[in-house]
Structure 1
Amino acid sequence: MRAFQNNQLDLDRSVVTIGAFDGIHRGHQALIQKAKSRADEYGVPLVVYTFDPPPRAFFQNQLVLTQLPEKKRYLEELGVSYAIFASFDRDYAARTVDEYIDELKRLNPREIWVGPDFQFGKGKSGSILDLQDHFHTFQHPIVTCPEGEIISSTRIRHLLLHKEVEKAHFLLGRVQ
């Protein structure tokens, strides 16, 4: 896997998946695996577009579940060809929907895959509908655990805060 910062990568074709991917938990893994299967079908590279630090860590000072070196390792294990680690700061957060879309156009995506409740751009003003105006964009369904609860980074942080480490590790896909 080759890693880049935002606005550094240009490709002839790709499949792209976008998200904070903090934790690379089972839900993230399902989304990335779906995008990877589509990239393989097209014979194009898979690009994961993510953020360092994750937006919630930047804005809300939340615990980062997966530090950058570990995140890179997990993405590589999932078969990602390229990863873009956008430097998330105040300037990046102020980017418009159009600026974000212009950067994605440089990747020439055949498809873009996002998770539920995907938002982007200044003030979360962009949605999957904005992406669909420019790209073939798909939303991966919510992934739940065997008890039927949604797998999310927020839930994993809650479990860790309440010392439920075994459950958190299961949701992360790192059962010990």
Structure 2
Amino acid sequence: MLRRTKLRFKYGCLLAGMTALSALPALAETPVFGALTLAPGFKPSQGVASGYTSGSTSLPAIVANQDRRGNKCLGFADNAPDYKMVLQKDFPQLAIEVDSGGKDTTLAIKGPDGTVRCADDTGKNKDASIQDPDWKAGEYEVWVGSIEAGSRWKYKLTVRQ
């Protein structure tokens, strides 16, 4: 929300003072639901988190129009990522799955080097999932979105090796 500003003249010039710039998106957003820290051989329970979709900002505006493989980044989410996923070492393969009970979810992941991975429907299922090789160690931002702006659906996020 942008607060009111006072306009005043000083030395013949109009000056506008802003009391808050909260309408501008933050450069580094705090994850909505927290962090997942994973090392090779992690226990299955360490790769599970839950949350709910929300937000009305388009994922292309937050992350990218498409990912490294040309998949479109679809849906709506909050500006802040839902999770920070910290990979302590490189992973040759990971699968990230959303289970909302069949709601139409989307998934976007931005890696430490700016690499983007996006997914929408998985087969006959409306939930999104990504299975991809070559995950480098570092911090990843993870957004779980919905195909409709403002939808609030509970989900479980699972990361598998």
TM more than 0.5: no
Is the strand fraction higher in 1 or 2? 2
TM-score calculated relative to the size of structure 2: 0.24
TM-score calculated relative to the size of structure 1: 0.23
